């Protein structure tokens, strides 16, 4: 799979409800799950953790872990579940992830990542890929990044998505790590030039369509993060410009297309606000955006709340929205 536009794996955000909603906005973007740990798949409810709607394809599951055998067992489950690709998390900087010896801290141990890759690809029917940073802490050099990619590439990996910031593992929060370290797109571009045989995708700070167009001239693909969540209609605009050429849909129509899904999920015991929380940004920068957010935030959590809440929120919008 060679995605041109993808949506980043974002903890607490890109769950299955979010992905279903985003798929309505962009039929062609590749969607990523939240990170799922290999340990959770081994010891938890794997069926629930790996659940997705068929409409989400193409969809990638991101796995976190550092034990090759455990990662291989998780990869087998993901492959059997029908995911289109399995991605190894080598970019998350949170304390919880570090304590488990995976995420961004694994950049300091490329042989471990290589061992995980080999074990996972051996049992998977779909490609295994890697998402990393450009460095960690004081390991902020071109040689460090090149050595990491070379080592994992020698194990057989051919696809790398690179968040163009270092991760500061001691001193910055995960939120700060998404904004404080400066972006360095040129370092990632140098990676593509040095390893032309690898598929290299760029992630980090891509929140403008013209910037996306510019960077697609240098990279095989781009990954959109926070802009896709806070202003999801951006995905529809990218779909029209870079993917299918499909005219961006009317926002109201997208909400109505969610009704059957919402009704199905509510009948299965889900709460409305677990779904609508991902829809709050749909009318970003449009007339009535604040009223839309407020109405859903104040009413979707109520007992018995159903699609009528979405209908009422729509009806409260000005006709121009």
Domain boundaries defined on the chain: 5-243, 251-315
Q: How confident is the model at residue 187 (pLDDT cuts 50, 70, 90)?
A: very high
Per-residue pLDDT at 1: 58
State how far the Cα of 40 lies from the Cα of 45, in Å rounded to an integer: 7
Catalytic residue among 18, 92, 105, 116: 92
| Interval 129-171: pLDDT, tens | 999 999 999 899 999 999 999 999 999 999 999 999 999 887 7
User: Which CATH fold topology does 251-315 show?
Assistant: 1.20.120
Q: Which residues have CB under 8 Å from 238's CB, separation 6+? A: 5, 26, 29, 209, 212, 224
- pTM for the predicted model, two decimal places: 0.95
Strand partners, 224: 7
What is the homologous superfamily of the domain 5-243 according to CATH?
Answer: Aldolase class I (3.20.20.70)
Tell me: pLDDT of 246 over 80: yes
| Interval 12-66: pLDDT, tens | 999 999 999 999 999 999 999 999 999 999 999 999 999 999 999 999 999 999 9
Q: Do domains 5-243 and 251-315 have the same CATH topology?
A: no
User: Cβ–Cβ contacts within 10 Å for residue 44, how many?
Assistant: 12
Per-residue pLDDT at 320: 60
State how far the Cα of 298 lies from the Cα of 294, in Å rounded to an integer: 6
Nearest to 225 by CA among 20, 1, 18: 18
Low-confidence winner among 167-181, 194-208, 223-237, 281-295 (lowest mean pLDDT): 167-181
Per-residue pLDDT at 93: 82
Per-residue pLDDT at 97: 54
105 is catalytic: no
User: Cβ–Cβ contacts within 10 Å for residue 273, how many?
Assistant: 15
Q: Which residues have CB under 8 Å from 84's CB, separation 6+? A: 1, 30, 57, 58, 59, 60, 126
Per the prediction, the chain carries an average pLDDT of 95
Q: How confident is the model at residue 177 (pLDDT cuts 50, 70, 90)?
A: confident
Low-confidence winner among 79-88, 167-176, 213-222, 243-252 (lowest mean pLDDT): 167-176
Q: How confident is the model at residue 174 (pLDDT cuts 50, 70, 90)?
A: confident
Q: What percent of the chain has pLDDT over 90?
A: 88
* Mean of pLDDT values over 240-258: 97
């Amino acid at each position: 799979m060679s995605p041109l536009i993808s949506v980043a794996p974002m903890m607490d955000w890109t769950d299955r409800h979010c992905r279903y909603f985003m798929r309505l906005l962009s039929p062609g973007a590749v969607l990523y799950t939240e990170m799922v740990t290999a340990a959770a798949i081994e010891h938890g409810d794997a069926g629930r953790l790996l659940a997705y709607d068929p409409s989400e394809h193409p969809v990638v599951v991101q796995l976190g872990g550092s034990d090759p055998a455990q990662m291989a067992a998780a990869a087998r489950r993901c492959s059997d579940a029908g995911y289109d690709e399995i991605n190894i998390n080598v970019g998350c900087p949170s304390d919880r992830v570090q304590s488990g010896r995976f995420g961004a801290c694994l950049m300091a141990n490329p042989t471990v990542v290589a061992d995980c890759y080999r074990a996972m690809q051996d049992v998977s029917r779909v490609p295994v890929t890697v998402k990393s940073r450009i460095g960690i802490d004081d390991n902020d050099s071109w040689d460090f990044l090149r050595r990491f990619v070379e080592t994992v590439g020698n194990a057989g990996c051919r696809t790398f998505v690179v968040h163009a910031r270092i991760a500061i593992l001691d001193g910055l929060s995960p939120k700060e790590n998404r904004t404080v370290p400066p972006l360095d797109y040129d370092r990632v571009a140098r990676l593509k030039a040095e390893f032309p045989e690898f598929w290299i995708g760029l992630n980090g700070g891509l929140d403008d369509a013209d910037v996306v167009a510019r960077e697609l001239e240098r990279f095989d693909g781009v990954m959109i993060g926070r802009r896709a969540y806070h202003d999801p209609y951006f995905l529809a605009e990218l779909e029209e410009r870079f993917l299918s050429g499909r005219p961006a849909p009317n926002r109201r129509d997208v909400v109505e297309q969610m009704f059957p899904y919402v009704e199905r999920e509510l009948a299965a015991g889900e709460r409305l606000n677990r779904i609508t929380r991902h829809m709050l940004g749909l009318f970003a920068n449009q007339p009535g955006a604040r009223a839309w957010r407020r109405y859903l935030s104040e009413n979707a959590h109520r007992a018995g709340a159903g699609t009528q809440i979405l209908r009422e929120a729509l009806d409260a919008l000005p006709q121009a929205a």
